Amino acid sequence: MRKSLFHLAFVPAVLLAAGALAAPVSSPANVRSGPSAKWPVIATIPAGADVQVLNCGGGWKRDWCKVSYGQVSGYVAAGVLAPSGNNVVVAPVVTTELANLYKGPGARYPVIVAVPGGSRVNQGGCVGGWQTRWCQVNYDGRVGYMMENLLQREGALFPM
């Protein structure tokens, strides 16, 4: 597992510059057959699961890491991974601060509940434009929408 942490900790600087993912991310990590959101999903890995990082690359791979989980080997977005002791795990999604959960994708919808900062949530797909994106979120059995910039992967080395 030391190799996994080494590769994750010393990923080329191009990964840091890449920043956002090309596609929405959900709380479980999608494992794809290639290093891009355009490749098909071949499996999912639950948040908190240990994974073996085989490598993370720069260039055309940008912010994608090749991982192994059980019998599956494929690519996940680097932003979903976080160190955990001597292991690397799929980081859970948490709120960055107090955030309203709305009935629909926008502040014009009624508020379902105010979610405290640091709360773990299950995040689904995101919709919206370049300025504000809204993600479907399940918090304590309540499903609604939250602004994407109020969500992050807890302990992840790279942003979503």
Q: Do domains 2-90 and 93-153 have the same CATH topology?
A: yes
What gap in Å lies between CA 26 and CA 118, rounded to an integer? 17
Domain 93-153 has CATH 3.50.50.100: no
User: By percentage, how much of the chain surpasses pLDDT 70?
Assistant: 76
Please tell me which of 3-7, 17-21, 25-29 the model is most confident about, judged by mean pLDDT.
25-29
pTM, rounded to two decimals: 0.59
Give domain limits for the chain. Answer: 2-90, 93-153
Q: State residue 62's pLDDT score.
A: 61
The structural architecture, per CATH, of the domain 2-90 is: Roll (2.30)
> In the structure, what pLDDT confidence band is assigned to residue 12 with cuts at 50, 70 and 90?
very low
